[in-house]
Structure 1
Amino acid sequence: MSNQSGITADESLLGSFGSLANNESPSNVVVAEISSDNTTVKLCTTLSSVAELKRFAEREDRPLYLFIRDSGRIVFVSYVPERAPVRSKMLYASTKNTVLRQVGSNHISKQLLASLPEELSPEFWSSDASAGPAPLTEAEQVSARISSEQRIESARAGRQLVSQTGGTSHTLSFKIASGEPIPSLLEQHNFVSFKINLEKEQVEVLNTAELSEASKVPENLSQSHPTYSIYKNNGKLHFIYSCPSGSKVKERMLYASNKSGFVKHLREVDHLTMETVVEIGDADELETSQLEKSSPAALEHGNPVPGQLKFNRPKRPGRRT
């Protein structure tokens, strides 16, 4: 069963659909969209004919829900252009069943998935599916298309990083967008931090600096959002994943589950080997001795294995000073 987004249809859409289903509207097509704040499915527009719908779809690169009246029946089409962002595709896929329940799925004679304006024709929804192999379900079609897009994106722009769902159909695909190669950045600076930009679906450089000593690293870590950072000291690279206590739950899950994928990208694509991989909460939890080439801590615990997590000893409970 697919996950539900919690988004519901508003009154304007329900009213327009009711008029369409009861033959009380001169329009033959109702177009719906998810609101910009992702809280409701609202009426986008109504159109008089399928020909007008095709022209409308040719100008759109976002997913839409289409309710089409044809020969006295209502056809529902999830219109998902191939060039639409992956996040939008998954949002519309997870909201579809809720919308159909609200308008009354008993009014819908057929449900289809389309990705091209040319598919929006009576021939498309009147074809006899039994004449060929059993078609994929909509969820299978969406999953297949997203997987294909992710493979293409990965080949173009870097390694695919898995999301908090562990590689299911909800996987997010991130590009590594550093402007210039990360090894080049580390030749110019000894500290580089990164953030995940959900809107652009990519990992970006957040900050660069030239630090005089390891003790300066904590003050260069974000105090409000998770970050990935690389600190270079005496030719050794140290990866720091910091997740401040005020971070949102969604951010925590996203950064934690993509950390290994990013480290792997650095190792396999950028050929950067991390001396240590440190995971902390707030910046003041960082033991900067771990970032020194021959610190007492490193000597006591032995040479760290590249890519191995370093967990700090829990602090004593009580008020912070």
Structure 2
Amino acid sequence: MSHQTGISCNDELKDVFRDCTTEGGIRAVKIAITDETLECSNSVDKLSDSWEADFDDVVGPLLVDKQPCYILLQLQDMNTWLFIVYSPDDSPTRQKMLYAATRSTLKSEFGGGFITDELFGTKKDEVSYAGYQEYLTHKHAPPPLTNAEEELKFLDETEDRTPPGVTTRHQTVQGLAFPITDDAQGALQEFKEGLVNHIEMNVDLEKETIFKVSSSSIGASDLEELISKDRAGYHLFNYAHRHDNEDISSVFFIYSMPGSKIPIKARMLFSSCKSPLIETIEAHFEIKINKRVECDCSDKLTEEFLRNEIHPPTAEARHKFTKPKGPGRRAPARRPKKEVENGE
């Protein structure tokens, strides 16, 4: 058998291992590395029939400050053992590296089939019964969700399963129709009448409403400064400009979301409220939205960007493909001298 560090069990430890899996009276075995050899440092018999009750009374006294060690603790029966690796942070670096490199060797010598779980700790409380239970909780917890999985979970949790009625607010994957506050409605009416050309609206997460943050008349060059890099928002902007000798007004709906700076619940609510808000603006306030834009804190909403969104630049004509010239005319093949002499 090959060993990563060249360290193997001595004969006494092998006998102890055999007793562990055949006799059943041993609760715990402490293994140490001494003179480049794995040896039994101590063994403790069962104190009771409960491994949970024995855990701290057996393992605790075996731990020594600044000294790494291995401990095998019998759980349910002779075929179920917990493999504990204790490696204090303040122990010598060489010892910590040696114990880490020899871990798989010890497991192989004892018999990997008997080890049902492993516990690693750098502090005594991490290899206590409470520490082991905490480890099991984390081990069996579901893996962290991706952003997409979090969004699907949130949508599923917020979906309204109440039978439709007069007072029912529909909550579906398509969107949440949060009511628009009076001040936001007033700003939208002023926008329609041309009294202002920019409105910022936001979602009140607690009241579940859409409210006005600000409204004003600005130039296209001022828009980028009004879009926050730290909070999400809905912006309505009327871009008045001249194109091809014609005065044009183009209404932009800008959904600003600074990404990871916003909690997942807020991101989902903003995303879900967007479509119903646009529908309300167009249907109820009769404001035609010409362009919808989504941006994060890295996007540059310059006037050039707005113009190109409304009037995309024409693609440059491709250069006409010129067929390459063929090879020069080849000289006629020379006839063999014999054929020439014979008149052939």
Q: Could you say which structure has the larger radius of gyration?
A: 2
TM over 0.5: same fold?
no
Give the shorter-chain TM-score range.
0.3 to 0.5
Q: TM-score, normalised by structure 1?
A: 0.40
What TM-score, normalized by structure 2, do the two folds share? 0.37
